[in-house]
Amino acid sequence: MHSTGKTVQVEAGSPPSFRIAVDSGLLPEFYILFQKGILIDVAPGTSVGEFLEDGLGLDPDYIRTRISTIFLDGMPVDDVRSARLADGAVLALSAAMPGLVGATLRKGGILSPMRSAISYRDHESAGGPTVGRVRLKLFNMIMKEAGPGLLSKGIIVPLSEARAVLNTLPADAVYREDMKAWPAADTLIELVIEPLDGRAG
């Protein structure tokens, strides 16, 4: 570690891994990445429920009671067992939301007919690749609660987005000189953020 911040450890791989430990108080600085969406590998055809439990390691009770609003490709999802992920899908997770419209968008909510035009509909998948990648977005309370765990496991993001966030950290948190040597091309990297003090933030 340099006197002016910790070094980001870079390990070759596909994608390359960029790893740094930060004070848990700085973990929220990375949450903007969840708003824009991180990439996660998934087997196409996996149900949303399976992905949340097995892929993300979330507790079934947490999924049922806490993740009250789910969008798959912009469509509100009502049944996580039947909604399935395709390669390139966008999945967004949120807690229960305020407002009439917030309540309307809720998973399995009684106001759901009010948004029937955009509700997720099950459909047969036409086959395709056996390995895929989805964009996962986390919002509000879910971002705070599930975010730290995902950061410490590693998230796939464009290098430019990682760099932008690291540049906002205090000077004593990250050594920026090494970052100048990072490629200019916007490749995808695996970003691993571990809390220095072991706390989730």
Partner 1 sequence: MDKILRIDMGAAGGPSMKEEPVGAYAGLGGRAMTSAIVSKEVPPLCHPLGAENKLVFAPGLLSGSAAVISGRLSVGCKSPLTGTIKEANSGGQAAIAISRYGYAAIVLEGKPATNDLYVIHFGKDGVKIKSDKSLKMLPNYDLVDKMKAAYGEKIACISIGPAGEMRMGAASIAVTDMETRPSRHAGRGGVGAVMGSKGVKAIVLDMTDLKMRQPKDVEKFREANKKFTEGLKSHPVTGQALPAYGTNVLTNILNEAGGYPTKNFSGGVFDGSAKISGETIADLETKRGGLATHGCHTGCVIQCSGTYVDKNGKFVSKQPEYETVWAHGGHCGISDPDVIAKLDFMDDNYGLDTIEMGVTIGVAMEAGIIKFGDAEGAIRLVDEVGKGTPLGRILGSGAEVTGKAFGVERVPVVKGQAMPAYDPRAVQGIGVTYATSTMGADHTAGYAVATNILKVGGFVDPLKPDGQIELSRNLQIATAAVDSTGMCLFIAFAVLDQPETFQALIDMLNAFYGLSLTADDVAALGKQVLSMERDFNARAGFTAKHDRLPRYFLNEKLAPHNVIFDVKDSDLDQVFNW
Return residues touching partner 1 (CB under 8 A).
Answer: 28, 31-32, 35-36, 66, 68-69, 71, 74-76, 78, 92, 94-105, 108-119, 121, 137, 139-141, 143
Question: Least distance (Å) from partner 1 to the CB of residue 92?
Answer: 5
Of 129 and 170, which has the nearer Cβ to partner 1? 170
Of 15 and 102, which has the nearer Cβ to partner 1? 102
Question: Least distance (Å) from partner 1 to the CB of residue 165?
Answer: 12
CB atoms within 10 A of CB 72: 19
Question: Least distance (Å) from partner 1 to the CB of residue 52?
Answer: 17
Which residues are CB-neighbours of 198 under 8 A, at least 6 positions away? 24
Question: Least distance (Å) from partner 1 to the CB of residue 118?
Answer: 5
Of 30 and 182, which has the nearer Cβ to partner 1? 30
Question: Least distance (Å) from partner 1 to the CB of residue 150?
Answer: 16
Q: 90 — phi, psi (to 5°)?
A: -120, 120
Of 93 and 182, which has the nearer Cβ to partner 1? 93
Of 69 and 182, which has the nearer Cβ to partner 1? 69
Whether the Cβ atoms of residue 105 and residue 115 lie closer than 8 Å to each other: yes
